[in-house]
Amino acid sequence: MATRSWVCGILWMNIANVGFIKKDGTARKIRGTQDPTRIPFYKTPAKAKRDECVASSACPIFDLDLQEWRSFCWDSVTDITNESGVILYEVSLDGQLKKSYEDSTTEYAQTSN
C-alpha cells in the first residue's frame, strides 16, 4: 500500500492518475488532484482535504474529468501515474509492490511537467 502522506503530497501539488478497485470489484481510474489552484473556486472545500487525506481510511480526490470530488480506499490502490504516463506506484495482481517512486518525490516533479 502506498504511504498516505506520499500520495497526499503528490495529489496536493500535481495532477495524477490513480487506479484503484471500487467496492463493487470494478477497476476505476481517476485523473485528479487536491491542488486548490487546479480546482474551480466554487468546488474548493472550506477545510483542507490534505488533512482529511492522511487521517481517514479513504482519500478525497477531485476528479478533473467529472469536475466532482470522489474518494478511494487506501488499500484498493493499484497504480499511480503522472500525466505523462510515468508509473509512480504499481502493485501486481497478487498485491505485491512492483514499482514505487515513493522515496523520490523530486523525480515525480521532474517528470510531471
Mean per-residue pLDDT for 1-23? 84
Which residue segments constitute the domains of the chain, with CATH numbers given? 4-93 (2.30.30)
Q: Residue 51: what pLDDT?
A: 63
More reliable by pLDDT, 112 or 76: 76
pLDDT digit string, tens, across residues 38-92: 999 888 876 666 566 666 778 889 999 999 999 998 888 888 988 888 888 777 6
Q: What is the pTM of this model?
A: 0.76
pLDDT digit string, tens, across residues 28-45: 999 999 998 999 988 887
More reliable by pLDDT, 3 or 93: 3
Range 81-87, long-range pairs (CB < 8 A, 24+ positions): 81/16, 81/17, 81/19, 82/14, 82/15, 82/16, 82/17, 82/108, 82/111, 82/112, 83/14, 83/15, 83/16, 83/17, 83/31, 83/112, 84/111, 84/112, 86/111, 86/112
> What confidence category does residue 12 fall into, taking pLDDT thresholds of 50, 70 and 90?
confident
